[in-house]
Amino acid sequence: MRKNFKQLTKEQRIKIEAYHNLKMSVKEIAEHVGCHFTTIYRELKRGKTTKISGSDWKDKEIYSYDLGQIAHEVNKKKCGRKRILQDDIEYIEYVEMMILDYKYSPAAIRQEIIRDKLDFNTNVCTTTIYNYIKANMFPNIVLADCPYRKKKKVKRKKQQIQKRYPKGTSIEERPEKIDNREEVGHWEMDSVVGPQGEGSKTLLVLTERKTRKEIIRRVDNHTSQEVVKTLNRLERDMGERKFRETFKTITVDNGTEFSDWKGMEKSRRNKKIPRTKIYYCHAYRSCERGSNENQNRMIRRFFPKGTNFDNVSKNAIKEVQKWMNDYPRKILGWLTPDELYNMEINISP
């Protein structure tokens, strides 16, 4: 993913005021001005004021480009200690944009600057960025806006390992080469659900273990039949052979939606050869699907707990999937999942 970073100019703020007065939506204004829609939200908030309506003498909330420009200049003057940030307002606004608009972590932001060869006066390490945020040197962000903040470890009671589904294959039988992430084609699968008792749709997510490539599909309900139907749809779209090459194995938990191991393994076209191999984790051992769990945390940046997926469009889900596959990862040597996955399948025999 590549971002073209530019600050809002005075002329753009004048346009925002004009479009806002025409009652355009925030997304329409963003398209006309040429920036991210969340930038418009923040700018409207920054330049918000009230005036008395001439018809009924009531206070009316409006946006004033003058106030927006003044607030920008004030932020520019108090944006931190000049001796450290060198009054680098472009750097400050870039970091704020990447965290607020694109959900990037400070570590990923630093790598994007290197990858895109962006030229700022400021060049600091990841730890320093966190320290600047803690010291309130960025006007519009706080530490709570950053993903993956370190949390205190909580000691949990050891839970007894429960049996898998009677006829499913245990993760204990999974080959060592899969455990060691030696090749692509071995996936983990999980569900991301909405609030209990509200809506029926959920997300079915698949994570490739070596490259962290992500596939997200919205399903109609939280049942084993719907999971099998979704895998059937993937096989139909990819073709039987391609599906079998892509999904060599899939590791799942003991949720009821994954209870039909035969249906998940069985090809919808080739009745003789299974399309994949299903392995079951031990109960209450989410760490056995660690990649899945970490990816789910990334999904929650966009769809927090309590999101009703009945109200989320397929296009919005596709955008999150694309964002995840374009997001550079430290564990991948700062490659993106798509980059590493494409490299792996191109060199595979």
How does pLDDT run across 28-78, given as a tens digit for each residue?
Answer: 888 888 888 878 877 888 777 776 665 655 667 778 777 767 766 666 665
How high does pLDDT run on average in the chain? Answer: 85
Distance of CA 235 to the CA centre of its chain: 25
Specify the pairing of strand 277-280 against strand 249-252.
Answer: parallel
How does pLDDT run across 166-202, given as a tens digit for each residue?
Answer: 568 999 999 999 999 999 999 999 999 999 888 899 9
How does pLDDT run across 121-172, given as a tens digit for each residue?
Answer: 888 889 989 988 988 888 889 898 888 655 555 555 555 445 445 568 999 9
DSSP 283-299: TT-GGGGHHHHHHHHHH
DSSP letter at 172 equals G
H/E stretch holding 177 reads helix 176-179
Which residue, 62, 129, 57, 69, is CA-closest to 99? 129
Collapse the DSSP code of 71 into the 3-class scheme (helix H, G, I; strand E, B; otherwise coil) and give the result: helix
Specify the pairing of strand 186-192 against strand 202-208.
Answer: antiparallel
Torsion of CA 71, 74, 78, 84, to 10 degrees: 100
Distance of CA 147 to the CA centre of its chain: 10
H/E stretch holding 78 reads none
Crossing angle for the helix pair 106-116 and 89-100, to the nearest 10 degrees:
120
Which residue, 305, 261, 266, is CA-closest to 281? 261
